[in-house]
Structure formats: C-alpha cells, structure tokens
C-alpha cells in the first residue's frame, strides 16, 4: 500500500510519492529525469531531455484555450540530502521513507525533498490531467538547483514560447515571491602539513550534535547555531591552553544548509583529559545560555577512539584551521534598508571537510545586492590570503529583480482575494530561485513564485502541510483557468 494513497489531492500526492521513491539528490537526478521523459512519452506529449538531464514537456491548451499564450511552469527535481547522524540511509540508491504525522508529510530521519518535489508533482499532475482547463503548458524540470542552479544555467530556452513563468519553489502558502537574492559558493582550501603523531597521546573524537540546522537562506535570520562555527570556538579554547594535536575535522553535509553536526579527531594526553572534559562542560552551559530559546539540545562530547592515528596536522596547520573557522563570516551581514525585515546579505560555512592533503571550507554567500555579495567574498579571500589558503568560486547565480508592472502578480493577487477574501503577501526572499536565470534567457519574462507550506527545508525536520498542498493545487488551477 502506498503511504500517501488516501491523501488529497490524490493526483499530486501520487506523483510526489513516485518522486520520493526515486533517488534524486543533486547530481543524481538521471533516474528521475528519465521517469519524467517516460511519463511524457506515454502521454504522447512533446518532450526534450538535455545533457544536464533537464526536461521540457509541452502540452497543448485545453478546449477554448488552444490559442491562448503559453504558460511556463518551472520546478527543480533535485533535493538536499541531509540525515541525522544515527540514520542509515544511502541517498544514492534509496528512496525517501515517508510518514504522515499530524497533517504533515515527513521523512524518517532525512530530508523529505518537498523542496522541490511538491512543485514537480504539481506539474506532473497538470500534465496528466484531462479535466483541468488551462492554456498551453511548457513544463520545465531543472536539475542541480541546490548546488548552484547548474541545470537552469545549462537549459536552452530557445524553444520556449511562453512569456509568463510560474515557479513552484516557495515554502509559504499565501506569500507570492516576486524577487530573490543572488549568490555563489566560495570554497577556501587550506593545504595540510602533516607530522608524526605523539605516541604518548591517544585519539579522541570531539563531537557537536543536537543542533536544529535549516535552510541557509530562508532560516539564516533565526540566529541558529552553526556546528562548524561552534567547533572553531571550542578548538580555540582547547588549543589556547593545551599542547594537543588535531588529525581530522569535518562538519555539515551541504553548503546551503546550516550545519547541525561537526566532529574533530584530537590527540590528547591522559593528564589533559579531565581538564578538557571540564572545559567542554562549561562551554556546553555557555552555549545553552547563548542560544536559549533557539537551540535546546546542543551536545558536546569527547569519545575515546579504538583506531590508531599515525599522522596529525602540524601546529601551524591547526592554528590556521582554527583561525579560518573563527574568522569566516556566518549569519546575517546586512538587512535590506528598504524592506526592513528582509535579510539583504548573509554567509554560511556549510561544510568543512578533510581530504587527503587539504581542509576545505565551503561557504554559501547570498545577497540581493551584487556589491554586498562581492564584499563578503572579498572578506573570505582576505582570510584565505592571511592563512596561505586558496579560494575558488562556484555556482554563481544572479538576483531576480521585482517588476512593478507584473501581470501574473496582479492576476494571482486577484485570484487569491476571490478565493480567500484576503490579500496575499507580496514579498522577496533571501534565497536563490532560478527565476533570475530564466529572466536573462527570456527578455521581458513575467514571473512569480508560489508554493505550499513547507517547514524545516534542508534539514531532517523538513515537512509539508497536506491541507496547504490541497489549497495551493486549487489556487493554481484557478489561476491557469483565467489565463485565456
């Protein structure tokens, strides 16, 4: 029996469960892309799949809408792959394990992928339907959005005829997004100088767990703790007093998610152990006080390790790692002075990873102003220069600028008012949407982004509200019905 079989809207949740059953993390979307192609072929619809596994599906307008201007529907089909540390799940080969709880759909210990699987499910349900009035549809399913919008960048928009685009990738019902920030991934890479470990010291695993995490854009203003930044503070306190060594450091899984867990392997002498454990207890209390009401389960632990450790970082390498972690910007940098309550620019140290001879620090930078984005990048480059590290910038994507004359925004406002007798919120978001990329590909494109209520995106607490999915489905049909 399908988990979502009895939920409404039945057609939308059918396709959402199909999507969840297919592994589709970023850069692993081929099977889901092929599924969409097979679906379109079975329905006899025009379909184009490109080398980046983006898929375009076209469907003619229904009776009375044959000559109406086409409408572009757009969602991405990749998901952020995050899981709790105690969960055994292989995102490369396994589908998402779904559960329904208190009117919400969740996953068992992992991200759900409602961001943006629900948007893709809406589109497939519309393409499959034979009882919904709509203009000609051009459904664009893009890939690798979460790691830099690479699919949208690679997509050839030359055969799109529509001049109106509805993006289905927002997470607040009743809020219509009409602009968003731009951003990039700036990676700092520090070469490791190795030295022989102290044979009188024993390896211990220092861990930070229990943090909330969340979306590094839309949740960054909530002041949640970053496991990577906390690890930098802890290591600074330890190494400022004790002559110890570090052998490895890792934290976070995705640069666009606030890191919830981090760990480091330390070489500690027996006579240091009791004092360091006492230090961790004090720090745990300090962090609990600092994040009272925000983080309720911060846990610091120091665990003995059985395996032998031969090499460790040199003292200079360790000092540089700690300096980079302490100095890298995290959180809100500036607020939008025109909108007041919207974040203008931010940065997130999402991933720290130790490879064979390098420690990498992955930073997600966001800003609605190009100059502020560059300022944050310049700060990171200066930190790298001072520590003899290197930087590389990836996944650059543009901001999406608000248009006061947007016809689709006016139509959505009017339709929402008719359905619910109240005005929707017209807003901008401090997160990246592919709309900015499509705006550059199609001059004059009129766009809006809508979606149902999704909470905890980019974390294992991700959940989507079932009733909200139903309401947005009804709203979307009503809007399309008006677009003759």
Name the residues annotated as catalytic: 78, 145
Integer Cα distance of 305 and 89 in angstroms? 24
Q: How far is CA 236 from CA 211, 275, 317, 450, in A?
A: 20, 15, 13, 44
Alpha-carbon 92 to chain mean position:
17
């Amino acid at each position: 029996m399908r988990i979502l079989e009895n939920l409404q809207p039945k057609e939308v949740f059918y396709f959402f469960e199909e999507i969840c059953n297919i592994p589709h993390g970023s850069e692993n979307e081929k099977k889901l892309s092929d599924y969409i192609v097979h679906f379109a072929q079975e329905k006899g619809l025009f379909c184009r799949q490109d080398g980046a596994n983006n898929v375009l599906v076209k469907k003619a307008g229904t009776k009375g809408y044959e000559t109406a201007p086409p409408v572009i529907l757009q969602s991405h089909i990749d998901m952020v792959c995050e899981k709790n540390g105690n969960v055994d799940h292989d995102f490369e080969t396994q589908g998402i394990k779904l559960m329904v709880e208190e009117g919400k759909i969740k996953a068992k210990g992992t991200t759900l992928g409602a961001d943006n699987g629900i948007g893709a499910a809406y589109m497939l349900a519309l393409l499959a339907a034979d009882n919904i009035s709509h203009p000609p549809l051009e459904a664009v399913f893009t890939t690798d959005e979460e790691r830099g919008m690479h699919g949208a960048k690679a997509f050839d928009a030359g055969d799109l005829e529509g001049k109106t685009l509805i993006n289905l990738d927002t997470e607040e019902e009743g809020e219509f997004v009409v602009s968003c920030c731009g951003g990039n991934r700036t990676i700092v890479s520090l070469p490791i100088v190795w030295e022989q470990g102290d044979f009188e010291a024993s390896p211990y695993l220092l861990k930070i767990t229990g943090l909330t995490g969340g979306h590094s854009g839309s949740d960054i203003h909530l002041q949640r703790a970053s496991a990577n930044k906390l690890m930098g503070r802890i290591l600074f306190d330890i190494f400022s007093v004790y002559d110890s060594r570090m052998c490895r450091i890792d934290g976070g899984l995705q640069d666009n998610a606030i890191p919830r867990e981090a760990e480091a392997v330390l070489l500690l002498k027996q006579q240091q152990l009791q004092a360091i454990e006492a230090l961790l207890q004090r720090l745990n209390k300090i962090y609990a006080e600092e994040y009272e009401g925000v983080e309720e389960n911060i846990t610091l632990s120091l665990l003995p390790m059985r395996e032998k450790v031969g090499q460790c970082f040199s003292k200079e390498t360790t000092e540089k790692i700690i300096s980079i972690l302490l100095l890298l910007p995290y959180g809100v940098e500036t607020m939008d002075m025109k909108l007041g309550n919207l974040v203008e620019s931010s940065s997130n140290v999402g991933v720290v990873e130790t490879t064979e001879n390098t420690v990498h620090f992955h930073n997600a930078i966001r800003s609605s102003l190009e100059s502020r984005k560059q300022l944050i990048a310049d700060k990171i480059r200066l930190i790298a220069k001072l520590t003899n590290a290197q930087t590389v910038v990836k996944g650059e994507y543009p901001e999406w600028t608000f248009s006061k004359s947007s016809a689709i925004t006016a139509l959505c406002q009017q339709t929402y008012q008719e359905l619910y007798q109240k005005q929707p919120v017209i807003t901008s978001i401090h997160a990246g949407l592919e709309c900015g990329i499509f705006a550059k590909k199609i001059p004059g494109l009129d766009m809006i982004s809508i979606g149902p209520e999704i909470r905890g995106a980019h974390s294992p607490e991700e959940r989507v509200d079932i009733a909200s999915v139903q309401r947005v489905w009804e709203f979307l049909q009503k809007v399309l019905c008006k677009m003759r």
